[in-house]
Structure 1
Amino acid sequence: MNPTPSLARRSLLALALAGVCGGALAQDGASGATATPGWPSKTVRLVVGFPAGSSPDLTARLFAEPLSRALGQSVIVDNKVGAGGNIGAAQVARSHDDHTIGLFINGNLTIAKLLNPQVAYDPHKDLAPLSLIGVSPLVLTVPAHQTGVPADAAAFLQAARQAGDTWSYGTPGVGTVGHLGMELLKARAGINPLHIPYPGYPQVATAMLGDQLQMALLPPTLAQSQEDAGKLRRLGVTSSGRSALAPGVPSLAELGVKDFELEIWNAFAAPVSMPAAVRQRLSELTGEIARRPEVRAQLLQQGWQAVGSSAEGLAQRIARDTATMGRVIREQRISAQ
């Protein structure tokens, strides 16, 4: 017999070897064993543009320890506070040490440059998506006992149309998701309340309790706590369907508000200067950590529905939300000033 394999056998052998090698490479890529040789070589810095104890800070600290274990290096959270997270985002964008990443809210990656072209970074050119971590709707919330403000959803929307700009809504500031979301709601629901900015969501809720506002889009936990106290009433969530973060509350789409979907979210991103293999490893790690049952449970306690997307999934979300928010900004003529 001829000991040389036939062409067919050689082809089968090549395919088998390719499958084994491909599987090994896939495993190595997932673990980072060969994809990023020599990295990380020092402490990894996780920048957060908000103060200690804030929601982004708590999420970053939730990820720091499992990231450190997976990478075999320390991961420290570095709070660079200011400009709604944009100071921290700019620091990440300018970093060239290959050991700096950031945790951002969606405003930093979608709205910032649309509202203010002078922002010191371009989220689409200077930052590379890693993973979408958690999402949350906002909740259309109204006073439970304010004269002339119905607590029933249909009656409320009708009263709001009739009230025009004699009614007001509050937000944590111009250009926030709460602000742009309400401007989108105005366009979709045919209402026209006046915008009044406040330092934060707690102050917005307090203003509603004091009969200074008739409505706001609030985070689910704050809205529920105020409804449980009998002070405010939740009418609808801004997500496309109902949310586990606001049990029993219908979506605004269910209430007849068409073409309306809005969520707040947080995500990891890296400087575009970071090597692609390193970014890929971090994308896989942060996404996998977000999907762990114990982390999902902790994110839910923080007010987030865990996602843990791929880099591509986050890029698609950024593009979609940027287009939506850009349209609202143009149509409603919103500026940072």
Structure 2
Amino acid sequence: MQRHTFVMAAAAAALAVSLGAQAQDWPTQPVKLVVGFPGGSTPDMVARTLSEPLSKMLGQPVIVENKPGAGGNIAAATVAKATDGHTLGIVINGNLTSSPMLYPSLAYDPAKDFSNLCLLTTAPLILVAPADAPEGAAFFKKAEEEGDRWNYGSVGVGSVSHLGMELLKSEVSGLKPMQVPYTGGNPAVVTALISGQVQMGLMPPGTAMPQVKAGKLKAVGVTTTERSPLVPDVPTLAEAGVKDFTLEVWDALVGPASLPAPVQKKISDSVIQILHTPEIQKKLLAQGWKAVGSTPDEMKARVQKETALLGNIIRSQNIKLQ
């Protein structure tokens, strides 16, 4: 019995040494960073901001590969199925939270097929309206009076601009605007808001604020509990009387679930260190992002919380995409 215990202990020690060496040696070839959106998109800019410092830290080139399509789900599936040990991906929150409920034939399972490495960046959404709309609580009073005679613009069914508005409707009694989805994305929604075709919409700061500053749109409130450093002059929805409503968009770093744990830790620790540097924080802030640099456990908890939150809306509205 003692000999068996000794052999088991020795095997465990040898495995620990082997795994430690594996992490120390990794990467042994260029690292691919797959992004599910085209060049110039916000996830792409985050990827390219991180690729150079990460390459220096790891001692191997970090190559950004754009693989757009299906709201980032094609790229996410590519990462989930990767077997070379050197493929990572930058995904948006929908890829890990709402996509499994929206796409019945999704080619991956976020809970099983990924290693959660780091929550990279967050940004609030801004509830915007035409320039002549009332402000603050008066806006919501008017919206309740208009009921379903008012519309809101979204960039498509299942998008955060759709699910976020439905979530807001579920939390604000009497708020009943109807969705008008636009295939032209945020620019089309902006045009519809300016012309008065729709009366509200949720947008990222980078899209909303140039129009607000130009006097073409009004920022009703930001979807965080406190004012965002990205848009410090925009009040929170709580200041307009909508309590406890929080919704952000974010980018995260993932790898395939097969990635060895010591390698996962090496990547996470490296990226967290990079994101905590003032230079990178400043660059990301200029792109409209707040640098986060969470631990894998913190990222996992965030994914689980938002999956439950958005899942309630998707199920109650029976929203499905093919």
SS state of the match for residue 239, structure 2?
Answer: coil
**Structure 2: gaps of 5 or more residues:** 1-18
Match of 1:237 in 2: 222
**Are positions 1:162 and 2:116 aligned together?**
no
Is contact 2:104-2:320 (8 Å) kept? no
1:254 Cα offset (Å): 2.5
**Are positions 1:106 and 2:93 aligned together?**
yes
Alignment of 1:135-284 (within 5 A): 135-145=122-132, 150-190=133-173, 191-198=175-182, 199-284=184-269
SS state of the match for residue 36, structure 1?
Answer: helix
Match of 1:8 in 2: none
User: Which of 91, 104, 114 is matched with 1:127 structurally?
Assistant: 114
SS state of the match for residue 97, structure 1?
Answer: coil
1:141 Cα offset (Å): 0.5
**Structure 1: gaps of 5 or more residues:** 1-31
Match of 1:286 in 2: 271
SS state of the match for residue 210, structure 2?
Answer: helix
1:206 Cα offset (Å): 1.0
Is contact 2:43-2:251 (8 Å) kept? yes
Q: Max radius of gyration: which structure?
A: 1
Q: TM-score, normalised by structure 2?
A: 0.91
Is contact 1:35-1:281 (8 Å) kept? no
SS state of the match for residue 165, structure 2?
Answer: helix
Match of 1:5 in 2: none
**Are positions 1:321 and 2:312 aligned together?**
no
1:334 Cα offset (Å): 2.2
**Are positions 1:47 and 2:25 aligned together?**
no
**Are positions 1:78 and 2:98 aligned together?**
no
CA RMSD, aligned part only?
1.6
Is contact 2:35-2:43 (8 Å) kept? yes
The one-letter code matched in structure 1 to 2:235 is P
1:33 Cα offset (Å): 8.2
Q: Distance in 2 between matches of 1:245 and 1:219?
A: 10
The one-letter code matched in structure 2 to 1:193 is P
Equivalent residue pairs, number: 303
Q: TM-score, normalised by structure 1?
A: 0.87
SS state of the match for residue 254, structure 1?
Answer: helix
SS state of the match for residue 174, structure 1?
Answer: coil
1:35 Cα offset (Å): 6.2
